[in-house]
Amino acid sequence: MVMFDLDETLIDRRAALKAFLPDQFKRFRDQLQGVTFQTFEATFFALEKEGLVDKQKLYPRLAAMLGVGSRCGDRLLSDFQKRYPHFARLSIGALEMLSALRARGLKTAIISNGHTGVQSAKVEITGLKDAVDLVVISEDIGLRKPDPRIFHLAAERLGATPARCIFVGDNPEADVLGAEASGMTGIFYSAGCSWPDTLPSPKYSIETLVEVLPLIEALA
């Protein structure tokens, strides 16, 4: 069984945001008077911390820092939740890789931290829903990675033991170490990012999704 993180693993989160933010700024230009797009985008990414900050916390902070008021922050958040999923971009080779795993008789799953509405919409819009056997979203079950219980639940729903599961993700602590703590094999998907010097080096790592199947076959 092979499981995956969603954002910055199967989906290119930063590419989606780089496409969405100009669109959002254009539509809210009248409410963002005195704010340049460069400031809007730079402040957003500074607050977001590579996707680790919940957008329900980010947008009120963004509005405060830009001096546009809490009502504008609320509207921006609502707009994000409704429109952002339509800007979701698959990582290169994601669907092809999932298809190849299925062709080998391997079940696949997505485990994602996030809000059900936004994450489910991205999975649906990108075609990932039909490409995997299971989707587990943290808000649905009240558990978040790296809690081992969310990994155990996914394994149970796939009818597998954690020891027979592999998890691929870009977050060293939430994805890789969380999976390993649950008894799974963790694979670090670097996506151009480096592993922190403060953590023990990952046992397995890849730079592209094309590498997933060869590595899994080598581990079999």
Q: What is the pLDDT along the chain (220 residues), one digit of tens a residue?
A: 999 999 999 999 999 999 999 999 999 999 998 899 999 999 999 999 877 888 999 999 999 999 998 999 999 999 999 999 999 999 999 999 999 999 999 999 999 998 999 999 999 999 999 999 999 999 999 999 999 999 999 999 999 999 999 999 999 999 999 999 999 999 999 976 788 889 888 999 999 999 999 999 888 7
Given the DSSP bridges, would you call strands 134-137 and 205-206 parallel, antiparallel or unpaired? unpaired
Given the DSSP bridges, would you call strands 185-189 and 205-206 parallel, antiparallel or unpaired? parallel
**Residue 192, pLDDT score:** 67
Spatial neighbors of 104 by CB under 8 A, at least 6 apart, are 213
**Residue 25, pLDDT score:** 96
Structure tokens at 17: 């945001």
Spatial neighbors of 197 by CB under 8 A, at least 6 apart, are none
> Collapsing DSSP states into helix, strand and coil, what is residue 41?
helix
**Total-model pTM:** 0.91
The CA–CA distances, whole Å, from 126 to 12, 13, 182 equal 11, 12, 29
